[in-house]
Amino acid sequence: MLLVAAVLAVFLVTSAVRALDIGGLASSALVALVLGALFFVAATVSSHAEEKRARAFAARLRARDLSAVSASDNPTLDPIHHELLDIGGELRRRERALAEGEALLLAVVEMTPAALLLIGSNGAVLATNEASRALFFGGEDVVGRGMLELLRRAPPILRRVLAATGDELLVVEDADGATYTRHLMKRYFQLGGEDVVLVMVSDLSREIARQEVDVYRRVIRVLSHEVNNSLAPISSLMHSARLLLKDDDGQEPLQADAQAITNGRADERLRKVFDTVAERAEHLRRFLDGYSELARLPLPKKVPVDWASFLERVGALYPGIALGLPAVDAGNGTEAGWFDRAQLEQVIVNLIKNAEEAGSARGDIVVDVEASADRGSRVVVRDRGRGMSPDVMKNALVPLFSTKENGSGLGLALCREIVEAHGGTLRLMAREGGGLEVVIRLPPRSRAKVRSFSGPITAMRI
């Protein structure tokens, strides 16, 4: 094509020279100039085409596509060409597997309940996950920003984390005054030639509570076994002694003479003693059965529950109490709860009974359901009873603890165990104006977000 264009150009120039009657030297120069220009244009076009092909070739190589390497006309090079194609396919497969592995790792890091924070040597945030964003930054994505900038409005727990030089146990307090235990770990290493710090903060509160309950359960099982082993023969002996106080016909002994009367009075006293012992043995058996219920508490069977129907049922059991329904808002999911209906009803019933036993009138008892910030539910039971002192409130949720004369120390402990089995929390507070306020937090159906903390922090080096 370029050759045809050159011949055509020479012919046109020659014709123009003859028509214009230009001299021989001038005509030769003109022809040479035109040919030079033509070949320059041709070379430029060819250069651009080669550059474009080279760029496309490089792009395919970067994509591990070795099919860009054309087969040679030399048959001896065909095996090399096929080998290059195989290498390119293997590289693409490995690259795809690596990308999928990285995506899986990122998903696991994002979903882990521990707060993870990666900080570069220049103080910039390199990586976070959902838990750390909720715990430290109010849910905001801060990757790429400097820690000095973020510290201006950071919660106290983040300042404590950055100030720590090693592993620590942190006791933190939320806005409601509830305390939680967190385990802080810091590790220093290099990533891509840069010194980085990895911070991990784990929630130990639920595990500590679970271990505590497990200890109580084991103690209860041992006590129940040993006491029942003693109660069985005591009950049998009481039954035998009562039979001995009767004659063969099952009638009370005759009291014909003074000695018989005296014996009858003694028998009556013995009968009262035996009745008392039997009654206390039966009370102790019922007491142990109650604690066995705590030790055998089944896992909750959580289902969606309509709050309106749930509170209607509570109102039917205790007419006269005040009920507060949550606002129905499909946008934040507050129209239904996610819990075991029977178990949570048992919790509310226990709290209402405690309120009445504390001297609160039924009309002063309020059961409110509110939406919490994490799209879960917040159930509050308020009363106007005697309330609790700070010392009593600290121990009220501990099994076996009770300030009532005939209390078992089971009710509130069972309530806490049920709520925590749902992944929630139960907290006691003094009600303003007198009385008690019990706050139950239940997580949403989806995974609950990490609670943020703004209260004081107690740190212990480990």
CB atoms within 10 A of CB 406: 7
* Cβ contact 245:264 at 8 Å: no
Average pLDDT in the 157-163 region? 82
Q: C-alpha distances in angstroms, 311 versus 308, 348, 366, 435? A: 5, 10, 11, 22
- What element of type H or E holds 195? strand 194-203
Average pLDDT in the 277-303 region? 72
Domain 303-453 maps to which CATH number in 1.10.3720.10, 3.30.9.10, 3.30.565.10, 1.10.10.10? 3.30.565.10
Residue 222: its pLDDT value, please? 65
212 or 113, which is more confident?
A: 113
Average pLDDT in the 297-308 region? 87
Residue 117: its pLDDT value, please? 92
Q: What is the pLDDT of residues 308-340, one digit of tens each?
A: 889 998 998 999 999 987 654 444 444 578 899
Model confidence band, residue 417 (pLDDT cutoffs 50, 70, 90): confident
DSSP assignment of 32-82, as one string? HHHHHHHHHHHHHHHHHHHHHHHHHHHHHHHTT-GGGSPPPSSGGGHHHHH
Nearest to 271 by CA among 259, 281, 282, 263: 263
Residue 176: its pLDDT value, please? 61
DSSP category for residue 455: S
Q: In degrees, to the nearest 5, what angle opens at C-alpha 285 toward C-alphas 246 and 298?
A: 150
Q: What is the pLDDT of residues 13-70, one digit of tens each?
A: 555 545 545 555 555 555 555 555 555 555 565 666 666 766 665 666 566 555 555 5
Model confidence band, residue 461 (pLDDT cutoffs 50, 70, 90): low
Residue 248: its pLDDT value, please? 45
At what angle are helices 205-244 and 258-295 packed, to 10 degrees? 160
- Does residue 348 surpass a pLDDT of 90? yes
Which tokens hold the place of 373?
Answer: 């910030």
Residue 365: its pLDDT value, please? 95
Beta carbons within 8 Å of 455's beta carbon, 6+ residues apart = 156, 172, 173, 174, 175, 177
**pLDDT > 70 in the chain, percent:** 60
| 224/133 Cα distance (integer angstroms) | 47
Strand partners, 305: 337
- Range of lowest pLDDT (43-52, 104-113, 216-225): 43-52
Strand duo 336-339 + 303-306: pairing:
antiparallel
Q: Which amino acid is at 133?
A: R
Greatest mean pLDDT range, 5-19, 65-79, 270-284, 381-395: 381-395
CB atoms within 10 A of CB 190: 9
Residue 292: its pLDDT value, please? 64
Nearest to 139 by CA among 332, 373, 372: 373
5 or 49, which is more confident?
A: 49
Q: What is the pLDDT of residues 78-107, one digit of tens each?
A: 676 677 777 777 888 888 888 898 889 888
Model confidence band, residue 258 (pLDDT cutoffs 50, 70, 90): very low
| 281/286 Cα distance (integer angstroms) | 9
Residue 448: its pLDDT value, please? 44
Residue 261: its pLDDT value, please? 43
Greatest mean pLDDT range, 171-180, 241-250, 382-391: 382-391
CATH number of 115-203: 3.30.450.20
Place of tokens 């480990």: 462
- Does residue 355 surpass a pLDDT of 90? yes
| 275/235 Cα distance (integer angstroms) | 11
Which tokens hold the place of 227?
Answer: 């006491």
- Does residue 361 surpass a pLDDT of 90? yes
Q: What is the pLDDT of residues 383-410, one digit of tens each?
A: 999 999 988 888 888 776 777 766 666 7
**pLDDT > 90 in the chain, percent:** 18
DSSP assignment of 329-389, as one string? -TTTT-SEEEE-HHHHHHHHHHHHHHHHHTT--GGG-EEEEEE-TTSSEEEEEE--S----
Q: Where are the domains of the chain?
A: 2-62, 115-203, 218-295, 303-453
Residue 243 CA, chain-centre distance (Å), reads 62
Residue 281: its pLDDT value, please? 73
